[in-house]
Structure 1
């Protein structure tokens, strides 16, 4: 990984972790982990779910945090230490599916948390990945798939057509399937297909209004969302149906400090309708 890419990844992980922290706290609280002793956090990233998981399991619980990126694990380790839960966590640089396969053949987990990781591009076949995670659960174990639901968020209130175009350009830029069994919105289906029972869907909105009431909101928009959407517009905007006027408007609305900057409008808000899907083995 080049230095610039490494810095970009670290910034992304830290900013994303801070923005999503409140909704992840609420999501983990719904899992009832008080009597769970062996918990797996797959694709832990910067440890966005790790601290909440470690605290929810209580003093006797232990969390295995897995990620392929050593840089991400270093962030997660520092975060766990700062938050006082480092003694309840073990870290492992590994592929999540490898860990799941090993657990299925040995000691299974009481709960598995997968936060924004079961996604086209992250895993070659999301449906099969969920089935492998389900196989890694002990009887009565719970699988939790969390998604921030980025592509269903409202970032440009009052500009729905432009927002749809930008989201389409982003999907095209990342090569995300337009529909079908591997589409990112199929979490509930994957849980059913894996044979899990008591499958439940929870909608946990993350909002931002007023924009500067919470310092993580503007940081999230300006460090992650706007660069991602504008980058996609420049490379795939035409393919997504954007005209020259659409591209100019996007540049104007998403340029911090500009006269039309959308986040400086007095009524600006964002809504992230995050989803938590749970199922029991």
Structure 2
């Protein structure tokens, strides 16, 4: 039942999991995980990657999903049961660093929207620690939905840029430097990993209702986040009073100016997969 999970967080996690699922499945397939391998899903969240990871390593493999939030782990556990995963998936709540110390020597460590400055003061150090926890030849995989490079408001690029700026301010994200959220490859290289690569796996929503996950994602996750950011930090980001009124009209379902109901509306999410291998 996940009774202790904040309903707003739960809705966000579930709608985000459904929307990103096709990109996650493709990203996991690209890893070439060995049958029988051991994989850590670090910060498993709602467990969106667990089915693909479990299929990749097979019945003789092992997938360990870890998250700091026990209620979120409960949501992932429900997802595991609903998708009929086998006994090769284990879930636990706990600190990532404790898990890396207790159970090193993974064939791969997977993360999705976890290793960034919103969660860790020093993301580079976390990637380096994960690099030491995979066996020689093992893979560190950093998957990102790439939220701040998405196109949510086609035809309103200025407002979209200012909304993203307000969101960055709201979450206290660095505007540049070594801790910036787009420094994935630098973190992998700094960890001494080899064969560092970057793959773009786009999620496209057009027509909007052709994919049943798009509208719930926009209305359950994206619009609430952008509207809260506009209300809290929009003026500081450069949004005028007229801009804020315009944003509310664009992002409010049912309003005459609702952007998602306009002919030709589309969404583009350029999700990213950054990987590196520990030297053999």
Query: How high is the TM-score relative to the length of structure 2?
Result: 0.96
Q: CA deviation at 1:121?
A: 2.2
Q: Is the 8 A contact 1:147 1:274 kept in 2?
A: yes
Task: Tell me, yes or no, if structure 1 residue 239 matches structure 2 residue 233.
Answer: no
1:169-189, Cα deviation, whole Å (9 max, x unpaired): 000000001111011000011
* Equivalent residues in 2 for 1:19-98, closer than 5 Å: 19-35=19-35, 37-98=37-98
Q: Is the 8 A contact 1:133 1:143 kept in 2?
A: yes
**Is 148-157 or 121-130 further displaced after alignment?**
121-130
Which residue, 109, 118, 122 being the options, matches 1:121?
118
Q: CA deviation at 1:147?
A: 0.3
Which residue, 133, 136, 158 being the options, matches 1:139?
136
Partner Cα separation in structure 2 for residue 5 and residue 138 of structure 1: 35
1:53-103, Cα deviation, whole Å (9 max, x unpaired): 001111211101100111111111111122121411111111112212333
Task: Tell me, yes or no, if structure 1 residue 226 matches structure 2 residue 223.
Answer: yes
* Equivalent residues in 2 for 1:133-212, closer than 5 Å: 133-212=130-209
Partner Cα separation in structure 1 for residue 74 and residue 164 of structure 2: 31
Unaligned runs of 5+ in 1: none
- Aligned residue for 2:257, secondary structure, equals coil
Q: CA deviation at 1:5?
A: 6.7
Q: Is the 8 A contact 1:43 1:68 kept in 2?
A: yes
Cα RMSD between the aligned structures?
1.3
Which stretches of structure 1, 4 residues or more, deviate above 2 A after TM superposition? none
**Is 107-116 or 81-90 further displaced after alignment?**
81-90
Query: How high is the TM-score relative to the length of structure 1?
Result: 0.95
